[in-house]
Amino acid sequence: MVTIEWAFFCDMALIDRYHRLSIIGISPRIPTPTIPIAVRHSMLVAKMNAPEGERIDFGIRIAAPSGLVAVLTPDDQDVSVESAHGFLLVTMRNLPLPEEGTYRFELMVNGQIAATVPLSVLVTSPSESGGVH
């Protein structure tokens, strides 16, 4: 059985040739001056425990603040999934976030929710938001 120890929403994550994980821009929120937005590049990264050789199917279910649910799979053009050295790296491109509030990113492993990562999208004034994705 696969378990997820931890998971984060971030700007970038990579595994180097020595199997070290580097994570850049961990954040539980995205400030933005307007809604809707599309985040050009974002990632979910997770530490997982999986039995050696076990076949694993991954997916992501995103629940918007209004309850609207979208499902992303590795077959989607704007999604790529990499599993290596006990880490799961999910790259999402052009991620639409159409409303303000807290989104729930549910990491699905073999059809079951293995972890949930919240992400708040907050409308702020331009001076408060700083660099927006």
Mean confidence (pLDDT) of the chain: 90
d(C-alpha 74, C-alpha 59), whole Å: 7
Q: Is the pLDDT confidence value at 130 over 70?
A: no
Model confidence pLDDT, tens digit, residues 12-27: 999 999 999 999 999 9
The correct CATH number of 3-127 out of 2.60.40.1930, 3.40.50.300, 3.40.50.970, 3.40.1160.10 is 2.60.40.1930
Which of the two residues, 84 and 129, has the higher pLDDT score? 84
Which of the two residues, 75 and 127, has the higher pLDDT score? 75
- Could you tell me the two tokens for 56? 């694993």
CB 39 within 8 A of CB 97: yes
> What are the boundaries of each domain within the chain?
3-127
Q: What is the pLDDT of residue 127?
A: 62
CB atoms inside a 10 Å sphere around CB 56: 14
Task: Count CA atoms within 13 Å of residue 48 on its CB side.
Answer: 26
CB 115 within 8 A of CB 58: no
CB 26 within 8 A of CB 10: yes
Q: What is the pLDDT of residue 72?
A: 84
